[in-house]
Structure 1
Amino acid sequence: MAASAPRVATPPTSSPTPQPDYTRNRLPTLFEVLSRRTLPPVDLFSFYIYMRDQQRSVDYLDFWLDVAQHMSLCRHYVRELRRSVLIGTPDAERSSRHSSGILEALGDMTHPVAGPSMYQTEKERDQDAQMSAFLREDRGELVSSSGRRTPNLGTPRGANADSISPPHTVARQDIRASAEKILYTFLLPGAEREITLPGSITQDVTTAIEELGRDDPEVFDVAKDYVFQAMERDAFPGFLRMKAFGNLIPPTMVLRLIVGLVAMFGGFWAAFVLIFLNEDRMTRLWLILPFTVGVYCLASYQYCLDPVLALVGLSEYTPFNFLRVREPYVRKLLIRRAFVVLAVTVLVDAALCVLFILVPGKRL
């Protein structure tokens, strides 16, 4: 099965990329995963694959990521206007004096897109609230004072030698299109990838966008937080169990169960045959092979962990495809559990081998 990366695009901003926390001595939170502050196998890519293949609810994650992308789009648009106000370009005429004051007070807005109660400071919360208020006041402004339509997202402006605008810019209609895309893709009844939300939430978002003409990020706040909490409650604990305490996925775990049972059956069958044929103990030493394979596979299934893969630092994300474990705390957890699984395997394997090799034979 080919793995697909999260389809969210890189936000069109110059803000620094979130950096992983290499000193974290605990399991990460869902917000840290979603804001790309973790490393494999508990990173956003792995969570996306888990939601797609195990939970079968990747639409909820895509909704959250698309709303986060919408927030980034809005921030980029407001940052451009703020830059125009601060340097006094003609684009500043698009804003009233009151709006210009809001823009100047907003700051750079480089903090990550937040989940419920995830702002680090009140300043971050206030910045996003002021940005939404500005966008509500600014809605409908799609044409600049010079009569030119602002280019769409990603339209190069470097061809204009006299322009001092950024090389890529966001138009007001791009924000509107982004909000409508989220509504029509995830929220309306019968939508292409409809997610299940309380009817009141869906109705409020639909009314705000279609009837009130809103497209500011606050439109999606309640829906985004509901989805975040649902993922945190229903999906994320299972993700941590699978990726932080194990390194296998269900399809290959079932395969190991089958191989382990077959190997154990073969080992017991061969052991009784050799005993009742009164074969010598040197011949019965071959029983080590099926018993070792069987116990190893069954222990891997029981603990959801392949100890050899854990010791070499690999974790499975799709059948027989592996990525390297880079999250320091998770790597330590997996190594400790790998030694436990190996100890169990050695003890059970040794007990079975001693029992069936040393027991006296009797030819029937």
Structure 2
Amino acid sequence: MSDHNKTPSPQPDLNRNRLPTLFEVLSRRTLPPVDLFSFYIYMRDQQRSVDYLDFWLDVAQHMSLCRHYVRELRRSVLVGTPEPEGPRSKRSSAILEGLGEMNHPAAGPSMYATEKERDQDAQMSAYMREDRANSGLHDSPQSSQEPRNSTAKPSPNISTPRDVTTDSNSPAHTVARADIRASAEKILYTFLLPGAEREITLPGSITQDVTTAIEDYGRDDPEVFDVAKDYVFQAMERDAFPGFLRMKALGNLIPPTLIMRLIIGLIAMFGGFWTAFVLIFLDKSRLTRCWLILPFTIGVYSLASYQYSLDPVLALIGLSEYTPFNFSRVREQYVRKLLIHRALMVLAVTVVVDAALCVLFILVPGKRL
């Protein structure tokens, strides 16, 4: 069975001998510098598309909120809470009892879920649609031929999906159906509607289907967002994640620092060459010309760091930059090995080029003009 078909664990995989996948990063199964926090910073500062990641995280949190809600109802049924009368309520209770424990907390794209997880999520969504129809809060496609039109914004007093992140049984963490409805509407009004505060670009058919399901049919079950969530995941996996791995797994510097290294390197090399020719044509001693080691070393080191997006000294001591002059310790073991290997290569290149320049300009005979 492939890694994608296994039930993901929220704990980091300390024995991974490869680069992580985007799903593992989003599931918080990785460590710095390829963790979710670093990916968020990358999407915000480099890709300038953090709204897509926020949308995916909010939808994943909405799924967790729904699972929390259904687990609470399932526990109440299993401990003997009387069922309401009526064929629909009996059918809902049967679905509820057949769901199982739903102990897969990581909400990922549907193509990565196991058959059991897909079945459970589909049954959960079916139960939530049935539950809403029974409650009489909204008409549903099964119970009414006329869609419900609603443009009301979610109440600011209702908790949002980010407020519930625990599976605790305590009353303090009870999830109401109004919370789930508010969560779905918050995602719709924040990311999907034209002119939304943080509107993301999706195919028009996807946006229209989600809007119709939530506003006209009153749906708030997780399946409403499945197509949009999978589309956003694939877009991030295709357009953003390869660049993230190149920056974090093969390097340890960010673009602003790289530009600064380029400028310092060019200035140092210009100063080194200018000083070297001045000392040669003034016929200064080789001992005096040994000072050329300083600008050439700084120049070559800075340009090598720019070329390979890597500071070898920082890599050897296990640090990676995530914002200007702020560093995190490299804790992902496979990435640490890659960075050390590349650091040694960059140091070797630096030493060879620096030595060649210094030998050339120190040992060449002087000639006073």
1:61: which partner in 2? 53
Match of 1:336 in 2: 341
Superposed CA deviations along residues 35-82 of structure 1, whole A, max 9, x for unmatched, are: 000000000000000000000000000000000000000000000000
Matched residue, 1:113: 107
Counterpart of 1:138 (choices 113, 131, 134) is 131
Aligned to 2:44: 52
Structure 2 Cα separation of the partners of residues 331 and 143 of structure 1: 56
| Counterpart for residue 103 of structure 1 | 96
- Contact 1:136/1:216 (<8 A) preserved: yes
Measured after TM superposition, the shift of residue 17 of structure 1 is: 7.3
TM-score normalized by the length of structure 1? 0.88
Identify the match of residue 120 of structure 2 among 99, 124, 127: 127
Deviations 1:173-225 (A, max 9, x none): 11111000000000000000000000000000000000011110100011000
Tell me: CA distance 1:105–1:116, structure 2 relative to 1, closer, same or farther (3 Å): closer
Alignment of structure 1 residues 192-211 onto 2, 5 Å: 192-211=197-216
- Name the SS of the counterpart of 1:356 in structure 2: helix
CA contact (8 A) 2:9 2:29 kept: no
Tell me which residue corresponds to 1:5. none
How far does residue 166 in structure 1 lie from its aligned partner after superposition?
3.8
Is the CA contact 2:44–2:50 (under 8 Å) kept in the aligned structure 1?
yes
* Aligned residue identity for 2:98: A
Q: Secondary structure at the match of 1:316?
A: strand
**Match runs of 1:210-249 below 5 Å:** 210-249=215-254
Give the superposition deviation at 1:99: 1.4
Q: Which deviations, in whole Å up to 9, do the C-alpha atoms of 1:203-254 show, x marking residues without a partner?
A: 0000000001111010001100000000000000000000000000000000
Q: Does 2:298 correspond to 1:293?
A: yes
1:33 to 7, 25, 34: 25
TM-score (norm 2): 0.87
1:299–1:73 CA distance, 2 compared to 1 (3 A): same
Q: CA deviation at 1:103?
A: 1.3
Task: Supply the distance in 2 between the matched residues of 1:142 and 1:301 (Cα, whole angstroms).
Answer: 62
Cα distance in 2 for partners of 1:143, 1:169 equals 21
Following superposition, which runs of at least 4 residues in structure 1 exceed 3 angstroms of deviation? 92-95, 140-144, 151-155, 164-167
- Give the C-alpha shift of residue 142 in structure 1: 6.2
Alignment partners' CA distance in 1, 2:123 and 2:51: 29
Seen in structure 2, the aligned counterparts of structure 1 residues 190 and 56 have a Cα distance that, compared at 3 Å, is: same
1:74 aligns with 2:63: no
Partner of 2:152: none
- Cα distance between partner residues in 2 of 1:41 and 1:312: 14
SS in 1 for 2:252: coil
Equivalent position amino acid for 2:329 in 1: R
Work out the percentage of aligned pairs sharing the same amino acid.
Answer: 82
State whether residues 253 and 301 of structure 1, in contact with CA within 8 Å, keep that contact through their aligned partners in structure 2: yes
Which SS does the other structure have where 1:322 is aligned? strand
* Bigger mean CA offset, 110-119 vs 310-319: 110-119
2:327 partner SS: strand
Matched residues in 1 for 2:170 and 2:283: separation?
90
User: 1:140 and 1:179 mapped to 2: Cα distance?
Assistant: 17
Query: Which of 10, 20, 27 in structure 2 is aligned with 1:18?
Result: 10
Pair 1:356–1:165, CA change in 2 (3 A)? closer
- Secondary structure, in 3 states, of the residue corresponding to 2:320? strand
The CA distance in 1 between the partners of 2:326 and 2:182, in whole Å, is 38
1:160 counterpart residue number:
none
8 Å Cα contact 1:254/1:301 also seen in 2: yes
For residues 261 and 337 of structure 1, the distance between their equivalents in structure 2, rounded to whole angstroms, comes to 23
Aligned-partner SS, 2:98: helix
CA 1:65/1:53 → structure 2, altered by over 3 Å: closer, same or farther? same
Counterparts of 2:136 and 2:199 in 1: how far apart (Å)? 33
Q: Secondary structure at the match of 2:361?
A: helix
How large is the Cα RMSD of the aligned pairs? 2.0
Q: CA deviation digits over 1:128-168, x for unaligned, max 9?
A: 01001101111156699xxxxxx96679xxxxxxxx96442
CA distance in 2, matches of 1:116, 1:298: 45
2:281 is aligned with 1:276: yes
The aligned amino acid for 2:60 is A
